[in-house]
């Protein structure tokens, strides 16, 4: 478990303190995939770099599995860092070393492994990330997705319990992003690896994270299970991220509905309800008509969800909405 306790961090720039984090106080559970999302300058990189003490807090504590890492001595910190892997947006591979040598590097650095042992471990890691036949190539000969797989294999070499991902898919195309996220999700399950990923893309969080914290100006604006935060965003920053992810312009949409008669609501279905014919049954029962103005069915990690914007006319609309709510749908009024 990773605990941030009353973290403050400022940078000293030209004689002035520039605040980056302002009272961060939350926990990340062991084995979780935890997303940290925020706009540029929100403090994401600073926060994630506190976990391996690439940055030190100005005040507060970072506690990992009960140990206050801000209080460790140099040897303690070295040992702690081996239990934390990190991958980066631009991969940070050594260009003069082969794929296998890049992956072997942290093992050689740790100094605890013999040559044969390193060779076997590197082979196993490369097989796991699907790069066996690229072992002797140099980074420049690989695609972006392959480079990030090398980054992942290298980060996992010392068998860390925590993997930090700093915009790890931001330089990749959508298809490659999907494959790398799938690999991270599989590794999380297989190795019970805790994954902390920072991103400015809600879609990355939606695909693999269990929980998310939305950072805004150095503070946590919103935190919770991804489905909750994504489907019912409370903070304006979160709403903006969700709308970006869905390519929806809410203002435009409401204007478009100006000529649509009836009461307009947004219905959110999750889990099994997503595939049930609830809307038709309830409409028949309450004697209302409905027209669907917008809709999507998608997944948040493994949970299917549907969101429909619907205009109800005629009959007893209140009764229809009550019935839908009773069946577990959540209902937001778009226009009364």
85 binds ligand ATP (CB under 6 A): no
> What SS3 class is residue 42?
coil
Find the binder of ligand ATP among 13, 75, 258, 326 (CB under 6 A): 13
Whole-number minimum distance, CB 46 to ligand ATP, in Å?
3
Regarding 20 and contact with ligand ATP (CB under 6 A), the answer is yes
Of 38 and 85, the one with the shorter C-beta distance to ligand ATP is: 38
Burial 226-258 (b: 16+ CB within 10 A, else e): bbbbbbebeeebbeebbbebbeeeeeeeeeebe
Taking CB under 6 A as the binding criterion, the range among 37-45, 134-142, 223-231, 305-313 that sits at the site for ligand ATP is 37-45
Residue 235 Cβ vs ligand ATP, minimum distance, rounded to whole Å: 16
The closest alpha carbon to 57, from 215, 216, 168, 218, belongs to 218
Whose Cβ is closer to ligand ATP: residue 70's or residue 170's?
170
Quote the CA–CA distance of 131 and 142 in Å, as a whole number: 10
Contact 199, 205 (CB under 8 A): yes
Contacts 24+ apart (CB under 8 A), 88-94: 88/151, 88/166, 88/167, 88/168, 89/166, 89/167, 89/168, 89/170, 89/171, 90/171, 91/139, 91/144, 91/147, 91/148, 91/150, 91/151, 91/171, 92/151, 93/139, 93/147, 93/150, 93/151, 93/154, 94/139
Q: Is 45 near ligand ATP (CB under 6 A)?
A: yes
Among 4, 28, 32, 43, binds ligand ATP (CB under 6 A): 43
Determine which residue in the list 46, 177, 268, 309 makes contact with ligand ATP, applying CB under 6 A. 46
- Does 24 help bind ligand ATP (rule: CB under 6 A)? no
> With binding defined as CB under 6 A, does residue 57 bind ligand ATP?
no
106 or 151: CB nearest ligand ATP: 151
Q: Which of 14, 40, 75, 111 binds ligand ATP (CB under 6 A)?
A: 40
Which positions from 199 through 238 interact with ligand ATP, judged by CB under 6 A?
Answer: 200
Residues that bind ligand ATP (CB under 6 A): 11, 13, 18, 20, 38, 40-46, 200
């Amino acid at each position: 478990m990773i605990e941030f306790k009353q973290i403050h961090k400022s940078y000293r720039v030209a004689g002035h303190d520039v605040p980056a984090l302002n009272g961060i106080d939350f926990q990340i559970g062991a084995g979780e995939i935890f997303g940290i999302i925020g706009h540029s300058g929100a403090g994401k990189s600073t926060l994630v770099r506190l976990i391996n003490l690439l940055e030190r807090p100005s005040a507060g504590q970072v506690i990992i599995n009960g140990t206050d890492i801000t209080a460790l001595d140099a040897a303690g910190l070295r040992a702690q860092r081996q239990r934390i892997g990190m991958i980066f947006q631009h991969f940070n591979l050594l260009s003069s070393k082969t794929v296998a040598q890049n992956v072997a590097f942290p093992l050689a650095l740790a100094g605890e492994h013999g040559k044969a042992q390193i060779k076997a471990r590197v082979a196993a890691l490369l097989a796991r990330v699907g790069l066996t036949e690229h072992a002797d190539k140099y980074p420049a000969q690989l695609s972006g997705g392959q480079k990030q797989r090398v980054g992942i294999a290298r980060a996992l070499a010392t068998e860390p319990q925590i993997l930090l991902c700093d915009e790890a898919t931001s330089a990749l195309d959508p298809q490659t992003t999907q494959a790398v996220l799938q690999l991270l999700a599989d590794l999380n399950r297989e190795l019970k690896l805790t994954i902390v990923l920072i991103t400015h893309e809600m879609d990355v969080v939606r695909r693999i994270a269990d929980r998310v914290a939305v950072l805004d100006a150095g503070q946590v604006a919103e935190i919770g299970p991804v489905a909750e935060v994504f489907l019912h965003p409370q903070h304006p920053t979160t709403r903006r991220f969700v709308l970006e992810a869905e390519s929806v312009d809410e203002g435009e949409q409401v204007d478009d509905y100006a000529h649509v008669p009836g009461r307009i609501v947004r219905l959110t279905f999750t889990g099994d309800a997503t595939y049930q014919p609830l809307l038709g049954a309830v409409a028949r029962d309450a004697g209302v008509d409905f027209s669907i103005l917008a809709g999507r069915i998608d997944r948040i990690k493994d949970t299917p969800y549907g969101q429909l914007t619907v205009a109800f006319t005629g009959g007893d609309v209140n009764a229809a909405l009550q019935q839908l709510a009773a069946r577990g749908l959540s209902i937001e009024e778009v226009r009364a």
